[in-house]
Amino acid sequence: MTDIPRPGSAPAIEVEALSFRYPGADRDSLTGVDLRIEHGDFTAVVGGNGSGKTTLCKTFNGLVPHYWSGTFDGAVRVRGQDTRDRSVGALSHQVGYVYQDFGNQLVRPTVRDEVSFAPVNFGLADHRERTDEAMELLGVTHLADRFTWQLSGGQQHLVALAAVMALRPEVVVVDEPVAELDPAHADGIYAALTDLNTRLGTTVIVIEHHAEYVARHARSVVLMADGAPVWHLPVREAMERVDELERHGIPAPQVVQATRSLAPWAPVPLTVEEAAAHLSAHACEDRPEPDRPSEPAPSARAVAPAGSRGAPVARMTGVRHGYREVGGDLAVVLHDLDLTLYDGERVALVGGNGAGKSTLMRLFTGLKVPREGTVRVGGTDTRTVRPAALADQVCYLYQRPEQMFLKDNVREDVAMFPRGRGRPDTDTLVTDVLDRVDLTGLAHRDGRLLSGGQQRRATLAIGLAMRPALLLLDEPTSSLDTASRDAVIAMLDALADTIRCTVVATHDMHLVAEWAQRVLVLDQGRVVADTTPAELFADPGLMSAVGLVAPQITRLGLHLGLNPPPLTVSELLDRHRTTRRTRA
Amino acid sequence: MRKERDGISVEWVKLELLRTAYATRGGMLAARDPRFVIGWYLIFAVVPWFTHNITVLAALFTVCAAAVVLSRVGPLILGLFVIGFVVESLYVLFAAWFFGGDLTTVLALVELTLKLATISLASMAAFVSLDPEKLSDGLLSLHAPAMLSFGVSYGYRMLPVLMEEFHTVVDGHRLRAAPLTDKGFLGWRAVVRTATTLVQAFYPLMLNTAKRTRTTVEALETKGFTYAAEHPDGRRIRLAHLRADRWDHLLIIGTLLLVAASFALGQAYPLHGGVR
């Protein structure tokens, strides 16, 4: 972080009295925006859904107003030049843009072709050097000849970024990089962005919901609300405004919350290590004893001892499964899997991309049958019945909600299953379920046109109306802002009465910490651990081996010597205070 | 009892389509310059229409069949072709007999079938050997509109995505639609159900695709796609790597010789049918 903006040089981005309204909209998306982003800065743009973050960032590369022609007042200048006087093509040499749905930004079949596409289109003589340089920069050279659809999400994101960097822009805008990636890949993207920022002096602008990433990587923060920046501050000052961030739907990082409560006089910490240092320094005399087995684990999340487990709901024995690849080889995804799910359990299935989580869940639906071994749901071997018959007991909700929308409105989608099975109470059931997920007012709309959080709730409604014994959810919280995420977790909490067993495949360790009772850790097609969230987070060796990162508060607890580590901020506060009192 | 199959299954069809589209099997034509492959194809697409001589057509058919073998066309495409060819031939015989035709009628219909079959074989051999980049560069160099050549490569790029999406939607219908209690006579209800599902699956598929394309279109703008349409530099660079070697010339010369030989054979041993 030694890069100091050169005095006197034109700012990377300068926005002056900017207002913008999309054609046909009844209110301005941006109103009176004044903003200055210095050359070489690493800026995070935060704010709730609909606060105008994405629209603002699209003015930087001229998509607004050249592509989205609405009512545009004021001025946006990139390195001193007005964007209205330049074309989108010309601006893309200065400002690169990586979309939230980056997969759709890749337009060519192979990686090399994708990265060289823009330099070739612009007829740049050094296109080959630029392509190699950009691939080298993002570490994707080894993927050069792969087809883009063969890549994992994280790799696709790096390729999209490389394609943007091939034009050597001075500014890159990245829209919600963490939304669709697992924690290990998200860290990889941020490491790459930090590297571009420090090594090349590229100005980086990220749109981000997760304050944790903002605190760790950004240098300044723009808070957007109602189409205008509330403030633009250096990151530490921004993080001090905990309450204000919270009001705008951006909860402060857990370490900030904890430090503010325990050591309000300490400066705001940006990382777990800083927080641990502050808390230890300010409370060094009364440091809690490590490992106090007498400490009662919070009763609600403790797994019932094996003897008192409910009846088995589903079981896998000796399951081996895999897919044929284009080359003809068999890629084995699951090896010798033995697994039983019990009545009343909340199970989180964790593991990196490609660990076999989705395959495992699909085997329970009967859409696929295993190559070896048996899968039983409620005593029925999935080989002996058609998937439609199993659907009475098992429901699988896809990661991307739009894959669940088969009809042209939410109500029809929810009613599809019960009506098809001739349930006499279909109408009451549908009304109840829609009410429960708070979508009654939007039930006549096409699911695809709802916001991310609403879509997720609509898919939950579809699942609830199927009244399954076993509910399987694939990444239910991905690409949601914090408020929608909390709403989904609360809804999952409330499901216990109608559903016997819920399994969630997720990268979201906050969801694991706050919701799950049992965690199955999957690595390369094998269950490497069957444990509780607290035990999992207390085992750093296992965590790093499977590419997981524990929530900040858990890591802070471990730094402070709390074992089992706390899973929520309030738990850490309680235990920290109790230990200090006991010591005193 | 259900079983995971590697043989004829939906997964296999998907893989076969990908192997065909992306020319993963290699073969004689796959290593050639795309412009020459397209040229090679055009020879066989045009020449059969200049003759009524069944000997010539049979010889051309044999040449194309050999090309199909050398180009390693996959079993799915080949199987579909063979089924189509056999059914067509049976139909020809049946139609000739039913309408009281004689040998002349049969020969006239055989002639048309042979022409169509030859062209189909040639297109299989050619397009199985062209991966998306080669095909789009080849079209661009032959002065096809930039939009067409890009459309071809983008279509290939979306193919796996769309197939996956379509499969997911169909699976959704399988799980959530009303189960069939009775398959009906010869399973006609199941057939009707499958057909309606396939049609209904298009609605979500189209809308989901439309949503994706919004980002794609914006991204294309920033990647200079419209700029390239107005400035020739990009086209020149993109096509710079296309270089024909002597094997490409040999391919065309060899093909022309074989075509000439076919006509010579037809002259020597004519087997005429249809209109003289």
The answer to whether residues A366 and A240 belong to one domain is: no
Is residue A383 located within the same domain as residue A280?
Answer: no
Are B177 and B87 contained in the same domain?
no
- Cβ neighbours of residue A278 closer than 8 Å, sequence gap 6 or more: A259, A263, A266, A267, A269
d(Cα B232, Cα B136) in Å, to the nearest integer?
A: 16
Mean pLDDT of chain B: 87
Taking Cα atoms as reference points, which of A517, A502, A505 lies closest to residue A314? A502
Tell me the residue range of the domain where A581 lies: 257-285+554-584
Which of A98, A107, A176 should we substitute to test contact with B (largest number of B Cβ atoms within 10 Å)? A107
Q: What's chain A's average pLDDT?
A: 87
Q: Is B218 on the interface with A (CB under 8 A)?
A: yes
Tens digits of per-residue pLDDT, B53-89?
Answer: 999 999 999 999 999 999 999 899 999 999 999 998 8
Q: Do B96 and B225 lie in a common domain?
A: no
Residues B104 and B159 in one domain: no
Determine the Cα–Cα distance for residues A554 and A513; give it in Å rounded to an integer.
9
Domain match, A424 and A438 both: yes
pLDDT, residue A8, reads 53
Indicate if B126 and B260 belong to the same structural domain.
yes
At a CB cut-off of 8 Å and minimum separation 6, what does B250 contact? none
Interface mutation target, options A110, A117, A386, chain B, most CBs of B under 10 Å: A117
Q: Which residues contact A145 (CB under 8 A, 6 or more apart)?
A: A110, A111, A112
Q: Looking at the structure, tell me whether residues B62 and B126 fall in a common domain.
A: yes
CB contact under 8 A, A107 and B207: no
Distance, in Å, from the CA atom of B82 to the CA atom of B64, rounded to the nearest integer, reads: 14
Q: Which residue of B has its CA nearest to A163?
A: B223
Residue B272 has pLDDT above 70, yes or no: no
Distances (CA, A) of A584 to A179, A263, A287, A564, A579: 44, 17, 10, 22, 9
CATH of the domain at A199: 3.40.50.300
**How far out from the chain centre does Cα B185 lie?**
35
Question: Treating both helix axes as pointing N-terminal to C-terminal, what angle do A552-559 and A272-282 enclose, rounded to 10 degrees?
Answer: 40
Q: d(Cα B140, Cα B133) in Å, to the nearest integer?
A: 10
- Whether residues B69 and B30 share a domain: the answer is yes
Per-residue pLDDT, averaged over A128-155, amounts to 90
Q: Which of these, A551, A558, A560, A552, lies nearest to A281 by C-alpha position?
A: A560
**B206 domain-assigned:** yes
Co-location of B126 and B50 in the same domain:
yes
B190 touches chain A (CB under 8 A): no
In this predicted structure, the answer to whether residue B242 has a pLDDT above a threshold of 60 is yes
Both tokens of B218, joined, read 């914006």
In a domain, A297, yes or no: no
CB nearest to B218's CB, from A67, A365, A402: A67
Domain presence at residue A73: yes
| The pLDDT of residue A545 | 86
A219 torsion bin: left (phi>0), alpha (psi -120 to 50), beta (else): alpha
B176 with B231, same domain: the answer is yes
Per-residue pLDDT reduced to its tens digit, A563-576 = 888 999 999 998 88
- Tell me, yes or no, whether B221 lies in a domain: yes
If asked whether residues A90 and A215 sit together in one domain, one would say yes
Residue B218: is its pLDDT beyond 80? yes
- Report d(CA B153, CA A110) in Å as an integer: 10
- Closest partner CB to A398 (pick from B168, B216, B218): B168
> Does residue A80 lie in a domain region?
yes
A165 interaction partners in chain B (CB closer than 8 Å): none
Residue B1 lies in a domain: no
Q: Which residues of A477-500 are buried (b: 16+ CB within 10 A; e: fewer)?
A: bbbbbbebbbbbbebbeeeeeebb
Q: Assess if residue B90 is contained within a domain.
A: yes
Instruction: Tell me how far apart the alpha carbons of residues A427 and A412 are, in angstroms, rounded to a whole number.
Output: 11
Q: Which of residues 129-148 of B touch A (CB under 8 A)?
A: 131-133
Beta bridge partners of A321: A334
Q: CA angle at residue A182 from A180 to A187, to 5 degrees? A: 105
> Which residue of chain A is at minimal alpha-carbon distance from B137?
A113
**Which strands sit side by side in the sheet containing A526-531, from one edge to the other?**
A394-397, A470-474, A501-505, A345-350, A518-523, A526-531
Provide the 3-class DSSP secondary structure of residue A292: coil
B135 is a domain residue: no
Domain assignment of residue B191, yes or no: yes
B15 and B123 assigned to the same domain:
yes
Helix H or strand E encompassing B41: helix B34-46
Same domain for A387 and A245, yes or no, is: no
Q: In which residue are the tokens 């009654």 written?
A: A440
Q: Residues 6 or more apart from A513 whose CB is under 8 A from it?
A: A533, A537, A550, A551, A553, A554, A567, A568
Asked whether residue A144 falls in the same domain as residue A181, the answer is no
Of residues A91, A107, A408, nearest to B219 (C-beta): A107
User: How many angstroms separate the Cα of A326 from the Cα of each of A341, A406, A524, B12, B82?
Assistant: 34, 29, 20, 9, 23
Number of domains in chain B: 2
How many angstroms away from the CA of A87 is the closest CA of chain B?
9
Cβ contact A557:A519 at 8 Å: no
d(CA A411, CA A397): 17
Which of B4, B25, B21, B8 has its CA nearest to residue B162?
Answer: B21
Please indicate, yes or no, whether residues B217 and B260 belong to a single structural domain of this protein.
no
Query: Could you tell me if A335 and A483 lie in one domain?
Result: yes
Give CA–CA dist A194/B54, Å, rounded: 71
B196 reaches A (C-beta below 8 A): no
* Bridging pattern class, strands A394-397 and A71-78: unpaired
Same domain, B207 and B250: no
Would residue B138 count as lying in a domain? no
3-class DSSP state of A397: strand
Identify the band that residue B215 occupies on the pLDDT scale cut at 50, 70 and 90: confident
Domain match, B59 and B114 both: yes
- A528 in a domain, yes or no? yes
Boundaries of domain holding B179:
143-241
Asked if residue A498 belongs to a domain, the reply is yes
- Given an 8 Å threshold on Cβ–Cβ distance, is A109 in contact with B133? yes
The token pair at A496 is 């216990």
Beta carbons of A269 and A584 less than 8 angstroms apart: no
Give CA–CA dist A404/A412, Å, rounded.
12
Torsion angle (degrees, nearest 10) of CA A487, A488, A489, A494: 90
User: How many domains are there within chain A?
Assistant: 4
Chain B residue nearest residue A67, CA to CA: B218
Q: B248 forms bridges with which residues in the sheet?
A: none
Whether ipTM > 0.85 holds is no
Pairing of strands A380-381, A372-377: antiparallel
**Shortest Cα distance from A62 to chain B (angstroms)?**
9
Residue A492 C-alpha, separation from nearest chain B C-alpha, in angstroms: 21
Beta carbons within 10 angstroms of residue A386's beta carbon: 14
Percentage of residues of chain A with pLDDT beyond 90: 55
Chain A residue with minimum CA distance to B131: A109
Distance from A564 to chain B by nearest Cα, in Å? 42
pLDDT in tens, A12-49: 999 999 999 998 888 899 999 999 999 999 999 998 87
CA atoms of A478 and A497, how far apart (whole Å): 25
pLDDT greater than 90 at residue A459? yes
| Interval A222-238 mean pLDDT | 94
C-alpha distance from residue B263 to each of B55, B56, B108 (Å): 8, 5, 19
Q: Is residue A295 part of a domain?
A: no
B212 reaches A (C-beta below 8 A): yes
| Structure-block tokens of residue A61 | 């590369």
Residue A303 lies in a domain: no
Q: Say yes or no: A181 and A208 in one domain.
A: yes
Q: How much is the pTM? A: 0.84
Of B21, B18, B44, give the one whose Cα is nearest residue B256: B44
Question: Per-residue confidence at A279, pLDDT binned at 50, 70, 90?
Answer: confident
Distance from CA of B80 to the nearest CA of A (A): 20
User: Mean of the pLDDT values across residues A118-146?
Assistant: 93
**What residues in B contact A88, CB-CB < 8 Å?**
221-222
A340 with A265, same domain? no
